[in-house]
Structure 1
Amino acid sequence: MGRRDDLDRYREVGEAKREDLSEFIQYGDLGESRPDEIRIPIKIVDPPEFAYDPRDMGGVGQGQGGTPDVGDPVGEPQPQPGDDGADGDPGEEGTEHEHYEMDPEEFAEELDEELGLDLEPKGKKVIEETEGDFTDITRSGPASTLDFERLFKEGLKRKLAMDFDETYIEEALRVEGWGPATVFEWARGEHIPVSRAWIEDAYESIPAEERSRWGSIEEMTASVDREPSAARIRREGIDEVPFRREDERYRYPEIVEEREKNVVVVNIRDVSGSMREAKRELVERTFTPLDWYLTGKYDNAEFVYIAHDADAWEVDREEFFGIRSGGGTRISSAYELAAAVLESEYPWSEWNRYVFAAGDSENSSNDTEERVIPMMEEIPANLHAYVETQPSGNAINATHAGEIERHFSEVSNVAVAYVEGPDDVVEAIDTILSTEDDA
């Protein structure tokens, strides 16, 4: 085994020891990752290597000016890099921290497995239409697409429906005292599909002396077996099949619509004076993995970041998690802006939508009931979610999350999660992602 094999083996060991995904989400440094690349710390063991002792330079008895002669006292060896004990005690393994890199798709797969999620992205916007198998049927079309098998089956069904045992009817015409009218009425009662004209023609062809062969119809039916149409067709075959134009059907290719699985995620955050650093960090720990997850799930993911105090404004991602203002709070201002952005840029017919909001649940008086709840009901979305971040537990005036939860308790696409510390983050993410409406 060469040195390259050693390196590969040690890296495999390191990757196996990378930080647990849940632990990384709750306590890891999320800032080292990018939207398209998640960097999870791993501990890599330094592979062994040969090194020359820096004190062993040159041969015995060799030297230049300043080299002591034999018998001259010498000083203590000069300290070398790594000899001051700062890099570890004797015998301690050297280690370094590197990162296991995964893209959002792999992150989503692992989070699905870890949390037992089964979110299936829905296709919205049609990006291509192609012709599939000839599964559709129309009443008109080119002759080359005529469904002859279907046409033949329809004709055969008609043949069976119109067919009858001619010998059986002729024997009924030989019942004493019966003529065409009587036989026709009897045949109708027996559900035999024979016409009055056929009976009259058959009666004329029967010699007069044979028209009284049977004393009664009961005697005739007891003596003559009626042969089923199917048995007779199998025995004699079919000379012709009665096709009709109304039986014609033409095969038409199924139109297969390829739909792009795209999503817009609206992230809303309270940036008012009460949202101090600890609360802001909990928002980042919750929203960042959600962004990675949905990026990995959908073909195309776009993000809108809205900050608000009493008013709302759109920001970029870098500003979103760090910005802070000194104003009051009116959460409905963010939903007003979100509704306008979604309506103008992300129509519901073409985009999956997720609207995530977070804050400490403090809101201006009556704003939740009178404005926010009605707007959440009016904005079509796969999922609405609110995340309350209160590191010290609920404040007296932190009522927004509770009002949302009570109002939407019977609604399948609204989630409310409570995050008091990093330990609650993964559970909050699970609550949100497992709530999406299947409709």
Structure 2
Amino acid sequence: MGLRDDLERFREVGEKRREDLADFIQYGDLGQSRPGSVNIPVKIVSLPEFAYDQRDQGGVGQGDGDTPDVGQPIGQPQPQPGDGDGDEAGEPGEEGGEHEYYEMDPEEFAQELDEELGLDLEPKGKQVIEEKEGPFTDMTRSGPDSTLDFERMFKEGLKRKLTMDFDEEFLRELCKVEGISPREVFEWARGESLPVSMAWVEEAHADVADERGTWDSIEEVEENVERETVQQRIRREGIRHVPFRREDERYRYPEIIEEKEKNVVVVNIRDVSGSMREKKRELVERTFTPLDWYLQGKYDNAEFVYIAHDAEAWEVDREEFFGIRSGGGTKISSAYDLAAELLEEYPWSDWNRYVFAAGDSENSSNDTGERVIPKMEEIPANLHAYVETQPSGNAINATHAEELEKHFGRDAEDVAVAYVNGEGDVTDAIYEILSTESEADEQRE
């Protein structure tokens, strides 16, 4: 195995040592990523290379001019650019190499999360951006000759011939049997599923009256006269005897396909009241950030709205959202009031909507039942979700998540409630939220 093979093998090992996606979500450094790029740490594997020993030791060499002669000791190695103290290129630890992170876009992140958690969310397009002609699959009774569906017309005529035609010559031979009556010929034909009328049989029976007695029995006719099927007659006569009719004509025209853009608006709501300390805020970030990446990767166009609230609510940008903290009380309904107002810019007919809220489940008295639940029912969305973060366990007055779950039920199609008490609960919470949306998506189909 050569050096090139070694390098390839080490690169493969390095890729395999990329941090597991679930571990990254639960415990990794999410701050190294940007909105459109997810950076997952890679455990570094040093690539093999030749190294020059810089220790204080001599050697021997040979050559002409300034090159030492055979056996002559050589001097100390000369400093190279970047080796000395203060050399700008040589300052240790200034930048990490590109190989320290595996960079994926949100679409790849969404695909990997689907595989990791066994999800299968298929976003629906809403806003029509283009109408175009599709395949000629629709039919009309009129149109230009160039669009006539001759194959269909031929099949209709052929089916008619197969159901209405029969071997007239064979039946005429049956009418020549000694002593046979028109009724007997007719009943024999019906027993053979031949579409012949009694009137036709009577006419044929009268036409061959002079030849009656040619055959002694029907069995004799069957043994001596070859029957010709409709298919054989068509092959012999060609299609000119296939009974085409005007009502068989159908003209093809193109199906009009609406090209729809998959648009989504995600409203992230966070309790920033005094009880939401650092650990709770961290768990919110660890849950909401992958959800944002996932939906950004699933949809063509994703918009994000961030709402912070204590007793009142206000819109913030993403940088503020996870770090802000106030000293006020908590009134969750204020955030839903603001969300309803902001969502007016994103009509339900054109936009998929997700409303994600998180907090420690503490809320002002009666606000959940009297204000929040009615507001959630009023705001149309693909999914409403609430994430409770309680690292030390449930507080006595932390009842918001419980009240939501009691009202909507655990099997609600468009409402999910998840509990995150520590990092290990994050992926379970994400699965609970996204799997609820997947199931609701199937129900809507």
Among 100, 103, 108, the residue aligned to 2:102: 100
What corresponds to 1:132 in structure 2? 134
Structure 1 unaligned blocks of 5 or more: 57-79, 89-94
State the shift of 1:339 in Å: 2.9
What corresponds to 1:353 in structure 2? 353
Give the SS at the match of 2:268: strand
State the identity %: 69
Quick check: 2:132–2:256 contact (8 Å CA) kept in 1? yes
Alignment of 1:196-215 (within 5 A): 198=200, 202=204, 205-206=207-208, 209-210=210-211, 213=213
Tell me how far apart the structure 1 counterparts of residues 205 and 20 of structure 2 sit (CA, whole Å).
95
Quick check: 1:264–1:302 contact (8 Å CA) kept in 2? yes
What corresponds to 2:441 in structure 1? 438
Tell me how far apart the structure 1 counterparts of residues 360 and 293 of structure 2 sit (CA, whole Å).
23
Alignment of 1:27-42 (within 5 A): 27-42=27-42
Quick check: 2:234–2:241 contact (8 Å CA) kept in 1? no
Tell me how far apart the structure 1 counterparts of residues 162 and 6 of structure 2 sit (CA, whole Å).
80
Which amino acid is 1:252 matched to?
Y
Task: Mark the CA change 1:16 to 1:240 in structure 2 (over 3 Å): closer, same or farther.
Answer: closer
Tell me how far apart the structure 1 counterparts of residues 306 and 294 of structure 2 sit (CA, whole Å).
17
Alignment of 1:57-96 (within 5 A): none
Q: Is 2:108 the counterpart of 1:111?
A: no
What corresponds to 2:403 in structure 1? 403
Deviations 1:161-182 (A, max 9, x none): 22233245445656789888x6
Quick check: 1:44–1:96 contact (8 Å CA) kept in 2? no
Deviations 1:233-273 (A, max 9, x none): 26744451111010011223344443323322111111222
Give the SS at the match of 2:260: strand
What corresponds to 1:158 in structure 2? 160
Tell me how far apart the structure 2 counterparts of residues 14 and 194 of structure 1 sit (CA, whole Å).
81
Which amino acid is 2:308 matched to?
A
Quick check: 1:30–1:285 contact (8 Å CA) kept in 2? yes
State the shift of 1:189 in Å: 6.2
Tell me how far apart the structure 2 counterparts of residues 224 and 306 of structure 1 sit (CA, whole Å).
93
Tell me how far apart the structure 2 counterparts of residues 255 and 214 of structure 1 sit (CA, whole Å).
66
State the shift of 1:38 in Å: 2.1
Which amino acid is 1:23 matched to?
D
Q: CA RMSD in A?
A: 4.0
Tell me how far apart the structure 2 counterparts of residues 203 and 30 of structure 1 sit (CA, whole Å).
95
Tell me how far apart the structure 2 counterparts of residues 13 and 383 of structure 1 sit (CA, whole Å).
40
Alignment of 1:157-176 (within 5 A): 157-170=159-172
Which amino acid is 2:119 matched to?
L
Structure 2 unaligned blocks of 5 or more: 59-83
Tell me how far apart the structure 2 counterparts of residues 155 and 353 of structure 1 sit (CA, whole Å).
53
Moved more, 253-262 or 428-437: 253-262
Which amino acid is 1:22 matched to?
A
Tell me how far apart the structure 2 counterparts of residues 174 and 4 of structure 1 sit (CA, whole Å).
94
What corresponds to 1:327 in structure 2? 328
Which amino acid is 2:441 matched to?
D
State the shift of 1:362 in Å: 1.0
What corresponds to 2:386 in structure 1? 386
Give the SS at the match of 2:123: coil
Q: Is 2:10 the counterpart of 1:25?
A: no
Task: Mark the CA change 1:51 to 1:367 in structure 2 (over 3 Å): closer, same or farther.
Answer: same
Deviations 1:298-322 (A, max 9, x none): 2221111122223322222122112
Tell me how far apart the structure 2 counterparts of residues 6 and 373 of structure 1 sit (CA, whole Å).
61
Give the SS at the match of 2:136: coil
Give the SS at the match of 2:436: coil
Which amino acid is 2:389 matched to?
T
Which amino acid is 2:398 matched to?
A
Task: Mark the CA change 1:430 to 1:197 in structure 2 (over 3 Å): closer, same or farther.
Answer: closer
Which amino acid is 2:377 matched to?
E
Structure 2 length-normalised TM: 0.75
